[in-house]
Structure 1
Amino acid sequence: MNSLAKVRLCARLLANQQVRAYASSGGESHWLRDNVPGPFPKTEEEKIAAAKKYGLLREEYEPYAHGCAGDYPDLPTVSVDQRDDYVSWTDTYHKRMFNDPIHANEYFLLNSRMSTEKFRYSGLYMFSFLIGMTLLVGLPMTNWLEPKTYYPRFEKQYPKPGVVHYTFDLVGASHDDDDDEDSEHGDKCKKSKRSKK
């Protein structure tokens, strides 16, 4: 292979690698300084250019009032769990589209962090309801259920004359009302006991 063919082959391979490197880098932004916010916009033209830079309409774009964030937009504070579930987000975990500007406090607005939801009742109202239900239900339960502070057991059953602790007799049945079969059976048992002696 001559040297000219080697040069052409290397040029083709390098050109493909450069295209591949450009495509894998995520676009035109190669350096960190390309993502740094610019100076605070003072004129309307600067605000329009900054809105275009962040992919927003001019009506949506408003920089931070104190100016220490440069031209970065002051985005509305909406937590991840308040964003629409039925949108086909490109980043489904953070519910964010590709190239959307990120809120300055995005870390605090994640699923595992705080929620910006406006609750139906205030925190004071919910806390007072909790205390009220605890007093209304908890105190009567502690007083009326009478918790046992002793072992529920009977006294010791020592054998005493005239005291029957346990019997095999049926309650309310007398021995005089036995049927004839029972009496015959009893007679047979008595005879068998006598014969064993």
Structure 2
Amino acid sequence: MALTRGISKLSIQLLRNKACLYTAVRCSSDKPLPWNYLWKPEKYSEKDHDKIAEKYHLHPKKYQPYSNNEKYVGDYPKLPMIGPAAKDPYYPYDIPIFRKSYHETLHSDFEIMGQDRFSYGVKYRINPYLGSAIWLATMITIIGISYLVQPYPAVHPRLERQYPKENVIHYSFEPADS
């Protein structure tokens, strides 16, 4: 009894959540249904070019398959390497975490192009190689200066150094005589 009450509360919460409703409606209205085995790349044929482009939600002029000597063989489209960090951050994406819209075809190497990985397509203000060279030059300069200045102490001692001598008591743990 308690289990059915818990399930009914969960289903009511899911119905109140608009994102769950929108996803359910979108997935049920898709043709073909969004199951993984339906998206497996098949053999490419020239005569089905428009049909394959429609399968991947691309315009037939923009659709270009991989050639036979590349790493992906089949009808999967050859897309440009543009990571999510290079896309417009203010565009209202359907999946804002990945900066991806619904039915947008993913690149074949999508898993390595996240925002927490290398950002493909981003124009950096400073070239990364130049930035690495500047960092290395700065570190070498700091280490060189610290090595050259090491013999000259920055703090001048106020008292003479106390070296241990025989029969001389520098300190004791006995209480002071008053």
Alignment counterpart, residue 52 of structure 2, candidates 50, 53, 76:
50
1:72 counterpart = 2:114 = no
In structure 1, the residue matched to 2:103 is 99
SS in 2 for 1:76: coil
Q: Which residue pairs with 2:115 in the alignment?
A: 111
Identity rate, percent: 20
Deviations 1:40-91 (A, max 9, x none): 12x2x31111111111111211011127432111111111111111111000
Letter in 2 for 1:133: T
Decide which structure has greater helix share. 1
Q: Which amino acid aligns with 1:113?
A: R
What TM-score results when the alignment is normalised by the length of structure 2? 0.60
RMSD, aligned CA: 3.1
Change (3 A) 1:24 1:59: closer
1:154 paired to 2:156? no
Q: How high is the TM-score relative to the length of structure 1? A: 0.55
Q: CA deviation at 1:126?
A: 3.0
Secondary structure of the structure 1 residue equivalent to 2:38 = helix
Alignment of 1:78-93 (within 5 A): 78-93=82-97
Contiguous gaps of at least 5 residues in structure 1:
1-21, 157-197
Runs of 4+ in 1 over 6 A off after TM superposition: none
Residue 130 in 1 paired to residue 132 in 2? no
* Residue 149 (structure 1) shift: 9.0
3-state SS of paired residue (1:128): helix
Give the secondary structure class of the aligned counterpart of 2:77: coil
1:123 deviates by 4.4
Name the residue aligned to 1:38. 42
Q: Which runs of 5+ in 2 are unaligned?
A: 1-23, 162-178
Higher relative contact order, structure no. (Cα contacts within 8 Å, ≥ 6 residues apart): 2
Return 138-147 or 98-107, whichever deviates more: 138-147
